[in-house]
Amino acid sequence: MIQHAEGSGLARIYQAAGDLIVYGGEEPYRWALWPAPVPPPATGEARVQPSELLRASHALVAFTGRHDLLAELADWRDAGTGQDVAVCLIHGPGGQGKTRLAGHVAHLWRRQGWVVLAAHHRRDRSTAADFEVPAFDEAAGVLVVVDYAERWDTADLLTLLHDAHASGRLPVRVLLLARPAGTWWDSLKGRMQRDLGLVPSRRELAPLERESGITRAGLFAAARDRFAELLRVPEAGSAAAPPALERHDAYQLVLTVHMAALAAVLAAERGQAVPVDPARVSEFLLARERDHWEAMASPRRDKPLATSPEAMGQIVYTATLTGRLGYDDGKAALARAEIESSQAIGQLLKDHAVCYPPAGPASPEGGSAAHASVTVLEPLYPDRLGEDFLALSTPGHSCDFPVDPWAQTAPARLLAPAGNGPGEGEGVPAWARHAVTTLIEAAHRWPHLARRQLYPLLADAPHLAVHAGGAALARLADLEDIDARLLEAIEAMLPGHRHIDLDIGAAAVASRLAEHRLAAATDPAARAYIHDALAVRLSHAGLHTRALAEGHRAVQLWRHLATLDRDAYLSDLATSLNNHANRLAEVGRPVEAIPVSDEAVRLYSGLVELDRDAYLPHLAASLNNHALLLEGVGRRVEAIPVSDEAVRLCSGLVELDRDAYLPGLAMSLTNHAALLAEAGRRAEAVRISEEAVCLRRELVELNRYAYLPDLAMSLTNHASRLAEVGRSVEAVLVSDEAVRLFGGLVELNRDAYLRGLAASLTNHALRLAKVGRRAEAVPISDEAVSLFRGLVELDRYAYLPDLAMSLTNHASRLAEVGRSVEAVPISDEAVCLRRELVELNRDAYLPGLAGSLINHAALLAEVGRSVEAVPISDEAVCLRRELVELDRDAYLPDYVRSLAVHGYVRIEDSRFGAAVTPLIEALLASRELPEHVAQNMVDWVTYLLRLAFAKDATGVTDEFRAVTGQDILAWMME
């Protein structure tokens, strides 16, 4: 059981000219300045390769419309959100104008003093190694644009956002561009809220024609006239739009309209008919690409290329699938593709680079060692045209475009496993992720690609879909005609545990399969299993509300089945109930979780009577969970015997099979120690907590990756146990180890371990403060508050207790370094939140409210607001007196401290005589405290009594005699 705490991200931060240029982890991304529009190609270049005119980077057609969205983005930029970082997703299909919008925003914001950066993922080879550091000194803020955000690993995207969050003094706005939203975004949004405290916004980029005054015909005419000007084709000014412009859905996309306009200009130049529909437009433009390859290989050219047009088409196909690559990987890709050419692979790469110059350094001239930073195989742009080229080159369509039989099996060759080739993983080439993602996107518009290439490819190698990442998996699962058997094969390759990159895709696959399986399943038990399995996947993806609903359906089914055949289904019902109770607690409904968990315990107890060996481990686990839930709602007295029973059962199981049951014993010991400490049995708790740490170190030696999180959790709690018995120096060392372990775990799986890191950091800040390292504690505590605010935005009642706790602690850390004025509003917020929690569950949250009240009273008195402090202090003492009457051992230390603070507050309010009674009560009650605590309290109370006497000797003397029957001067002389 982790005691709540918070922390900071531990990404390595490399600074340049300020606090912004950061690379987290092992450089998962790279910065580049957002480029200015590229000058248009010369007329001659545009004529031979007209697709260049469609690149968004050229921005050749004037930007139009989007006035409301631009205003919204300006408001988003300027809004006083209280956060230095804000995130917005702009999503829409390829060709809708996302990159043009980002470029226009960059242009406008730069004129207003903002620095604009592009973030490129580590797999994106479009940037050189060097980064020109912008001037931040006079900047109004920083805009970061992330294109193709859905293709980033979730962990890497969260790292970028975390680094931006830690950037420091400038406001940062992160604009994510993506094709889909859906499952990947829902999961990412939840993680941003929970892990980073960021509340992102989302805006779908609607078709431009929906804006007032904008029509398809108008967009076509503007693009046609601009292309006619650039290509010097004056006669194209009267070129008619294709007949399908107004009726074909594809022309909702700005890019498709621009492609039609370019085709119309080129057709007018040659006196040809204008292509009719979008597929014909792509055919027309791709035919011009082929003309370009033929011209480059023509003997009439001064230096004709050695590569034939046919081979060049195959290289372009390969480049579109692989994306740009390093030189060695590019050679390997062409070798795999088996380009039908007698030319050496090096020559093929050179010739392709002449036709499609790389975006980075100059074209390759020699061996791989000299070209580590050179990129080759520049893809065909825009992406949509490249995807159309893949589809039109592949047999199976009905368009008038020459297919290449070579293309039918090219993806399978490119993605076949290789024993010693370059790659990102075992048997997986470096370009696999890009290739599979591109095929999935193209398959959404070209069904024959799905049927003839994508589905057979993944059926033979389902691991490739997993390798493509969570967003690609989610997009794959969205294909209408995908076969359930293929999804099942992919599902079998997914890990059963959490995986930060794959969870969103796994949830999408599980959702699609659940629909299929539920439609076919008539057996209620089969349906219950389906709901249970889906709930697990949804929960891992952070989709807790949906997970709870699926788990609830499973419980209902198992309950019904158990009424029909109790012996057959009782164990399934117990398991489902236990899981459902945990999900209720996860979404902030612990009170509802208690009866569910209690039922699970009762059912397992009955099952143990029938078959002890089979069900005793389940009973032990359910008792452990139930104890945690009871403690979470303040029913500590009930929780301790339940926890004690869990420890007893786990110890017995370990005697039977140490390897199998040692993890369960370690968990139950950790939780039991925390419960004992909260009940005032601190010395006993230290011994048990230490035993848990030793067991978990033993388990880590056996399997580091399985048990390291448990060790980190036990260390966090053990540090608290040590501090509670006065072993503060040891506690700092243990706490520091916990922070380091959780920091490494967060780098592996942020979603799974961030709360643990947060807990360890909050506790570590407290441990540091206790040994006098207060300045170090403040920034750690501050980040704890920030992270918990984000978690509360995700799920208010699940994380509100954590936020209230972190606010209370942070106010104390600030006061300890002389920043009491800053601490007061933070402390006041903590009190308000804890009053809200007490309204929900008095038993569970009353101790926290009492603690926040007494801390707040002390702060108010310290900053001279003692009149306000007195009634708050009175309330705190009353609440803690009530708690002491319920459980004296557990609450006496806090009660004594409250009495002492109450005396201090009265002294600050010049009520010196009135301070005597609570101070004397504190002094007397201190005799029951552990020695190390008692002595500190006696020293403090004695100091306060002497202070009160110095301020009002007569009044304090009289009150002291009335309370104790003694003379205060005589007492002070003792």
Q: Which two tokens stand for residue 504?
A: 């969103």
pLDDT per residue as tens digits for the range 55-69: 887 888 888 888 999
Burial (CB < 10 A; 0-12, 13-18, 19+), residue 129, is exposed
Question: Given this model, what pLDDT does residue 830 score?
Answer: 93
Q: At what angle do helices 503-520 and 470-477 cross, to 10 degrees?
A: 30
Question: Given this model, what pLDDT does residue 82 score?
Answer: 43
End-to-end CA distance of the chain: 46
Q: How far apart are CA 632 and CA 368, in angstroms?
A: 61
Among 932, 841, 928, residue whose Cα is nearest residue 891: 928
Question: Given this model, what pLDDT does residue 544 score?
Answer: 82
Three-class secondary structure of residue 83 per DSSP: coil
Question: Given this model, what pLDDT does residue 888 score?
Answer: 82
Q: Which two tokens stand for residue 760?
A: 């360890």
Residues 390/442, Cβ–Cβ less than 8 Å: yes
Question: Given this model, what pLDDT does residue 885 score?
Answer: 87
For residue 418, count other CB atoms closer than 10 A to its CB.
Answer: 14
> What is the enclosing helix (H) or strand (E) of 85?
strand 85-91
Question: Given this model, what pLDDT does residue 425 score?
Answer: 46
Question: Given this model, what pLDDT does residue 251 score?
Answer: 86
Question: Given this model, what pLDDT does residue 42 score?
Answer: 81
Question: Given this model, what pLDDT does residue 346 score?
Answer: 93
Question: Given this model, what pLDDT does residue 900 score?
Answer: 92
* Burial state string for 597-632 with b = 16 or more CB within 10 A and e = fewer than 16: bbbbbebbeebbeeeeeebbbbbbbbbbbbbbbbbb
Question: Given this model, what pLDDT does residue 286 score?
Answer: 92
Cβ contacts of residue 428 below 8 Å, gap of 6+?
Answer: 417, 463, 464, 467
Helix then strand count (H, E) for the chain reads 41, 10
> What is the enclosing helix (H) or strand (E) of 146?
strand 141-146
The most distant pair of C-alpha atoms in the chain lies apart, rounded to whole Å, by: 119
Residues 104/74, Cβ–Cβ less than 8 Å: no
Residue 25, Ramachandran bin (φ over 0: left; ψ between -120 and 50: alpha; else beta) = left
pTM of this structure: 0.65
**Cα three-residue angle 60-64-65, rounded to 5 degrees:** 155
Question: Given this model, what pLDDT does residue 436 score?
Answer: 95
For residue 55, count other CB atoms closer than 10 A to its CB.
Answer: 16
Among 853, 811, 812, residue whose Cα is nearest residue 831: 853
> Dihedral of the CA atoms 11, 14, 19, 20 (nearest 10)?
-80
Q: How far apart are CA 605 and CA 624, in angstroms?
A: 13
CA distances from 304 to 294, 343, 354 (A): 10, 14, 11
Which residues of the chain have a pLDDT value below 70?
1-27, 80-83, 125-133, 165-169, 183, 194, 359-373, 418-426, 498, 500, 705-706, 746-754, 791, 794-795, 932-933
Question: Given this model, what pLDDT does residue 748 score?
Answer: 58
Question: Given this model, what pLDDT does residue 703 score?
Answer: 79
Residues 432/467, Cβ–Cβ less than 8 Å: yes
